[in-house]
Amino acid sequence: MTDIAEPRLAGAWQDADWTKRRLRRRYRAERRFKAYGLVAVFVALGFLALLIGSVIVEGYPAFVRTSVALEVDFDPKVLGVGEAPTAEELQRADYGKLLREAVFAAFPEVTSRKERRKLLKLVSTAARFELRELLVDDPSIVGTTRRVWLTASSDVDMLNKGSAPRDVPEDERRLDDQQLGWIDTLHAAGFVETGFNGAFFTNADSREPEIAGIGGAIAGSFYMLLVTLVLTFPIGVTAAIYLEEFAPKNRVTDMIEVNINNLAAVPSIVFGLLGLAVFINLFHLPRSAPIVGGLTLTLMTLPTIIIAARSALKAVPPSIREGAYGVGASPIQMVFHHVLPLATPGILTGTIIGMARALGETAPLLMIGMVAFIVDIPGSPFDPATALPVQIFLWADSPERGFVEKVSAAILVLLAFLIAMNAVAIYLRRRFEVRF
Amino acid sequence: MAAEHTVKAYDEELDRMNNAILEMGGIVEQQLAASIAALVRRDDELASRVITEDRRVDALEAEIDHLAVRILALRQPVAVDLRVITASLKVASDLERMGDYAANVAKRSIAIQEIDPIRLTHAISRMAGVAQGMIKDVLDSFRDRDVDRAMAVWRRDEDVDESYNSLFRELLTYMMEDPRRITPCAHLLFIAKNIERIGDHATNIAETVSYVVTGTPVEEERPKGDVTSFHQADGETEAPAS
Amino acid sequence: MTEDSDAMVSLTMEDDAAPAAAGSAADTDAAPRMRMRARDVNVFYADKQALFDVDIDLALNKVTALIGPSGCGKSTFLRCLNRMNDIIDICRVTGSITLDDRDIYGRDIDVVQLRARVGMVFQKPNPFPKSIYENVAYGPRIHGLARKGRELDEVVEQSLRRAGLFDEVSDRLQQPGTSLSGGQQQRLCIARAIAISPEVILMDEPCSALDPIATAKVEELIDELRQHYTIAIVTHNMQQAARVSQFTAFFHLGELVEFEATEQIFTNPHDQRTQDYITGRFG
């Protein structure tokens, strides 16, 4: 290192050997750091791919379902109705018997009670409701015989989709060899079919995995988000505008600001407790209702939206404000004519991201009873309902094998919604953002 | 010129111009002295040296012009700097004229070589001494930005003018006495006039110095000593000075 | 309603009267009429005093330049003249500033109306991110100076013409103002300011972000505008102050050091600090 001083004096240290060595070391360090970064990114991407991949692989089968065709003789005597039944009669008719007769008719050689019971297990218990629907829709088919596609039982469904293995000892299977034989017979006759599971999106929850759907949860989440949006957007934006543009800067507003920031970091379960205490215990709003969920999520989302809206307002350059003041605009004109339009993309983005967070929220909903098992699709924010993430939680808790795929499928739907919302946010930002 | 400019090169350029003017002034002062010496001592060689020296004065004036234009273009001077630059241009042009007059004196001193020396040259020499002092003082005042000194020079021009008046009358008398003396006396008259003009230019410089320092032109009326222009052609007594 | 119609009258009246006023007032230097007077103006930012006893008069149809080193208070003073400092919470102004002999900090003065009378052009061109037309039409619209489409069109065109911009943008009035070049944007901002027929126009370093050609155009515009308005301009560029202004005020450390005719300041300033500043001998 004795050669340091000399080249420096000569002003030619840039060409010295030690300089080049140093330079090479610096470049090596840079390359190393880039490599670490790339590894980190790929590890993260790998985990993400693993997660999404496993969810897709597990959840994909839930979007198809197995149906079994039966020749159903809509005999009024079996149904216990007259030749020309009234709508009321049809509602109360004995569809269980109709289904049983149809199943037995498909396998006339099976006669023992025990075997017949096993035979019934091939078709979903919910198939009788499908039959009822068919008749209620079209009473004229009473007295005729038709081939009707009915939902197969979850066990058959699993087997058919390959989710349940065939080649294990009989006592480890849900279906015994005899049942497998019947299924194969049906298969051979073309009476077993797999198709798109539309019911998954339209049905509400059910104890039977084969007919359980997320329709109820989607409706619940929708009403909840509607309530949240209607409340948070105006309240949040107004609060943000006031705090950012009009509020005097003093200790009180500083306190408010600090507290808003703190609220945004409060665990969501705390908001659930608050919702339970205030909306249900104090205001006696209905339990398990999206209105309460929406109110609770409003409390949770408000700070986020206020912060997002404030930063969007802050991002509008002061020169615009000065320009507006300069031509004699009043503060309110300045805000509504100039600042707010420029801040809108940012505010909308913040709102959508807040909504997305609310959509994915589970904990506070557990506290206010939206974790209940509800088989009806809610028609208004006041009906008992559940939400998508809660539905996932509920199904993940269920012991039936058929719910495993439902969990993943529901997660996929939830993810799709979240991605769609974020995409809209990005689109809005790109489309309407004004650069200065 | 209290503080320095933030841009050092600006100061350097102003200094260069200042020095060029002082150098030019020094040469002019010497030239006047040399031309008078040549006249008194009938020194042809010295006289011709004065004439050739005039080229240096012209060269310096050109350099000052160039520097001034350069500073005007590159530095956009204002206030005192602007006044210094316009003043420098004017002073340089005044000095150049003075140099020309000195050279003219030298030329005429050669022309009157053939003729007998007249004691009048001593009167001229005295007058030139005053003018020379004015040049020196006015250059000092320019260097030091000294208004009082400049104004003293400005007032002293009256002396030169008065010397010129008496010389004028004396020379007229000589010429009337002996027509053969007309040629040398005419030359001497011109020499005296040249020296008187040098004094006038010195007062111009004094006024310029005053403008540089105060920023306002000299308001006062300058005492006029040169009354020869009021003389009638027949050489009657002086007209009343108004 | 009445207020609106009054404003309309003054807008049109002013146009008729302007050429006559310009001819007489702009060319005679003798005793110009004062439009704004500032007396003993002190400005405080919280506890820090930014301006000390400033007295300045803005003469009608004259350009007054405010020069001085950064942080000397010249922009602060300019912003006092249309109460732009009101936006800053911690800013406090004492002393009196009058516009046509009415105290602009008085109780009877509405700050919004004041800013309509004392317009402002800023350092960085800041057109609204709207169309060129909307930029100019905004002021007249919010003040109710012009309602109907054609009336507004006329005001916009006239303002753009006065700002020397109309010929350059007449075929693209609906394009965003931000699509113009920097110099055009600044002239658009000037058009926006004059669209509401102010009495005084304040300019805060209007050319600092512009290239020399655009600067020259704005300077030429300023010289034309002074025939109709009273103008105060803050500038860092002393040559610019010399070129466009008739009066120059030199600020230093919050004090008004010298306020004189521009010619006087740039040939023979009285104060040594002024001299040092304008000749580049500072600090």
Q: Which CATH class is domain B8-230?
A: mainly alpha
CATH number of C205's domain? 3.40.50.300
CB B145 within 8 A of CB B204: no
**CB neighbourhood size of A66 (10 A):** 23
A337 has a chain C CB within 8 A of its CB = yes
Rounded to whole angstroms, the Cα distance separating B95 from C259 reads 38
C120 has a chain A CB within 8 A of its CB = yes
pLDDT band with cut points at 50, 70 and 90 for residue B238: very low
User: What pLDDT shows up at residue C7?
Assistant: 40
Asked if A325's CB is within 8 angstroms of C84's CB, the reply is yes
Residues 141-180 of C with CB under 8 A from A: 142-143, 178
- Which range marks the domain in which residue C269 is found? 2-128+197-278
Measured distance between the N- and C-terminal CA atoms of chain B, rounded to whole angstroms: 40
How open is the CA angle A36-A42-A45, to the nearest 5 degrees? 145
- Total domains present in chain A: 3
Which two three-digit tokens encode residue A328? 């004699």
pLDDT band with cut points at 50, 70 and 90 for residue B226: low
- The dihedral region occupied by A377, where left means phi > 0, alpha psi between -120 and 50, and beta the remainder, is beta
**CB neighbourhood size of A161 (10 A):** 16
**C128: chain A residues, CB-CB within 8 Å:** 320, 323-324, 338
Residues 295-334 of A with CB under 8 A from C: 317, 319-330, 333
Q: Tell me the pairing of strands A192-196 and C102-103.
A: unpaired
If you average pLDDT over residues C152-171, what whole number do you get?
Answer: 90
Residues A39 and A109 in one domain: no
Q: Which of B78, B214, B215 sits opposite C238 (nearest CB)?
A: B78
Proportion of chain B above pLDDT 90, given as a percent: 52
User: What pLDDT shows up at residue C201?
Assistant: 93
User: What pLDDT shows up at residue A10?
Assistant: 61
Asked if A333's CB is within 8 angstroms of C121's CB, the reply is no
B8 has a chain C CB within 8 A of its CB = no
Measured distance between the N- and C-terminal CA atoms of chain C, rounded to whole angstroms: 57
Residues forming a β-bridge with C44: C49, C92
Asked if A337's CB is within 8 angstroms of C189's CB, the reply is no
Q: What is the pTM of this model?
A: 0.75
Asked if C281's CB is within 8 angstroms of B6's CB, the reply is yes
The residue in chain C having the minimum alpha-carbon distance to the alpha carbon of residue B11 is C281
Q: Which residues of C touch B (CB under 8 A)?
A: 238-239, 242, 265-269, 272, 274-276, 278-283
Asked whether the predicted pLDDT for residue B69 surpasses 90, the reply is yes
Rounded to whole angstroms, the Cα distance separating B26 from A165 reads 119
Higher pLDDT, C282 or B48: B48
Asked if C281's CB is within 8 angstroms of B78's CB, the reply is no
CA distance to A278, A342, C65, C248, C251, per residue, from C235 (Å)? 61, 30, 7, 10, 11
Residues forming a β-bridge with C118: C200
Size of interface A-C (CB pairs under 8 A): 67
DSSP H helices in C109-196:
111-117, 132-142, 149-162, 166-169, 182-194
How open is the CA angle A413-A153-A158, to the nearest 5 degrees? 60
**A323: chain C residues, CB-CB within 8 Å:** 122, 126-128, 189, 192
- Which range marks the domain in which residue A182 is found? 63-197
Q: Which of A319, A329, A338 sits opposite C124 (nearest CB)?
A: A319
Task: Encode burial over C147-156: b for 16+ CB neighbours within 10 A, e otherwise.
Answer: eeeeebeebb
What residue has token string 């002396």? Answer: B159
Instruction: Please tell me the distance in Å from C172's CA to the nearest CA on chain A.
Output: 19
Asked if A323's CB is within 8 angstroms of C122's CB, the reply is yes
Q: Per-residue pLDDT tens for C178-188?
A: 889 988 999 99
Residues A225 and A297 in one domain: yes
C165 in a structural domain: no
User: What pLDDT shows up at residue B234?
Assistant: 44
- Total domains present in chain C: 1
pLDDT band with cut points at 50, 70 and 90 for residue C4: very low
Residues A223 and A343 in one domain: yes
Asked whether the predicted pLDDT for residue C5 surpasses 80, the reply is no
Residues A269 and A314 in one domain: yes
Sheet holding A192-196, edge to edge: A145-151, A64-73, A192-196
Residues A147 and A46 in one domain: no
In terms of Cα–Cα distance, which of A324, A248, A241 is closest to C112? A324
Rg (CA), chain B: 20
Residues in chain C: 283
Asked if C278's CB is within 8 angstroms of B79's CB, the reply is yes
User: What pLDDT shows up at residue A42?
Assistant: 97
Asked if C239's CB is within 8 angstroms of B79's CB, the reply is no
The dihedral of CA C124, C126, C131, C133: what is its sign?
negative
DSSP SS3 for B236: coil
Rounded to whole angstroms, the Cα distance separating C165 from C159 reads 9
If you average pLDDT over residues B23-48, what whole number do you get?
Answer: 90
Asked whether the predicted pLDDT for residue B193 surpasses 90, the reply is yes
If you average pLDDT over residues B55-71, what whole number do you get?
Answer: 93
User: What pLDDT shows up at residue C2?
Assistant: 40
Asked if A338's CB is within 8 angstroms of C142's CB, the reply is no
Q: Per-residue pLDDT tens for A190-245?
A: 888 888 888 888 888 888 888 888 999 999 999 999 999 999 999 999 999 999 98
Instruction: Please tell me the distance in Å from A378's CA to the nearest CA on chain C.
Output: 45
A293 in a structural domain: yes
- Calculate the dihedral angle through the C-alpha atoms of A86, A92, A97, A102, rounding to the nearest 10 degrees: 50
Q: Per-residue pLDDT tens for B133-175?
A: 999 999 999 999 999 999 999 998 888 999 899 889 988 888 8
Residues A128 and A178 in one domain: yes
Size of interface B-C (CB pairs under 8 A): 46
A433 has a chain C CB within 8 A of its CB = no
User: What pLDDT shows up at residue A8?
Assistant: 54
If you average pLDDT over residues B187-204, what whole number do you get?
Answer: 92
Q: Per-residue pLDDT tens for B198-221?
A: 999 999 999 999 999 988 888 777
If you average pLDDT over residues B163-188, what whole number do you get?
Answer: 87
Q: Which of C126, C138, C196 sits opposite A322 (nearest CB)?
A: C126
CATH number of A301's domain? 1.10.3720.10
Q: Per-residue pLDDT tens for C46-76?
A: 889 999 999 999 999 999 999 999 888 899 9
Which of these three, A135, A168, A197, is where a domain ends?
A: A197
Residue A60, Cβ density class (10 Å: 0-12 exposed, 13-18 middle, ≥19 buried)? middle
| Residues in chain A where the model's pLDDT stays below 70 | 1-11, 434-436
Q: Which of C82, C89, C112 sits opposite A249 (nearest CB)?
A: C89
Proportion of chain C above pLDDT 70, given as a percent: 89
In terms of Cα–Cα distance, which of B142, B25, B16 is closest to B71? B16
Asked if C89's CB is within 8 angstroms of A322's CB, the reply is no
Measured distance between the N- and C-terminal CA atoms of chain A, rounded to whole angstroms: 52
Q: Give which of B5, B80, B81 to mutate to test C binding, by max C Cβ within 10 Å.
A: B80
Which two three-digit tokens encode residue B25? 């002034």
The residue in chain C having the minimum alpha-carbon distance to the alpha carbon of residue A343 is C129
C195 has a chain A CB within 8 A of its CB = yes
Task: Encode burial over A130-144: b for 16+ CB neighbours within 10 A, e otherwise.
Answer: bbbebbeeebeebee
Instruction: Please tell me the distance in Å from A330's CA to the nearest CA on chain C.
Output: 6
DSSP state of C176: B
**A433: chain C residues, CB-CB within 8 Å:** none
What is the DSSP secondary-structure string of A183-234? HHHHHHTT-EEEEE-THHHH----SSTTT--SHHHHHHHHHHHHHHHHHHHH
C261 in a structural domain: yes
Run of H or E including B231: none
pLDDT band with cut points at 50, 70 and 90 for residue C11: very low
If you average pLDDT over residues C99-103, what whole number do you get?
Answer: 89
Q: Per-residue pLDDT tens for C218-246?
A: 899 899 999 989 999 999 888 899 999 99
A320 in a structural domain: yes
Residue boundaries of the structural domains of chain B: 8-230
pLDDT band with cut points at 50, 70 and 90 for residue C15: very low
A9 in a structural domain: no
Asked if B6's CB is within 8 angstroms of C267's CB, the reply is no
C140 has a chain A CB within 8 A of its CB = no
Instruction: Please tell me the distance in Å from C140's CA to the nearest CA on chain A.
Output: 9
User: What pLDDT shows up at residue B223?
Assistant: 67
Asked if B216's CB is within 8 angstroms of C281's CB, the reply is no
User: What pLDDT shows up at residue B1?
Assistant: 46
Determine A/B contact with 3+ CB pairs under 8 A as the test: no
A74 in a structural domain: yes
The residue in chain C having the minimum alpha-carbon distance to the alpha carbon of residue B8 is C281
Supply the ipTM of this predicted assembly.
0.81
Mean pLDDT taken over chain B = 85
User: What pLDDT shows up at residue A58?
Assistant: 87
pLDDT band with cut points at 50, 70 and 90 for residue B30: very high
Using CB atoms, list chains with 3+ pairs below 8 Å to chain A: C
If you average pLDDT over residues C174-195, what whole number do you get?
Answer: 90
C170 in a structural domain: no
Residues forming a β-bridge with C260: C248
B25 has a chain C CB within 8 A of its CB = no
Instruction: Please tell me the distance in Å from C243's CA to the nearest CA on chain B.
Output: 12
Which of these three, A146, A164, A197, is where a domain ends?
A: A197
Asked if B7's CB is within 8 angstroms of C276's CB, the reply is no
Task: Encode burial over B17-41: b for 16+ CB neighbours within 10 A, e otherwise.
Answer: bbebbbbbbebbbebbbbbbbbbee
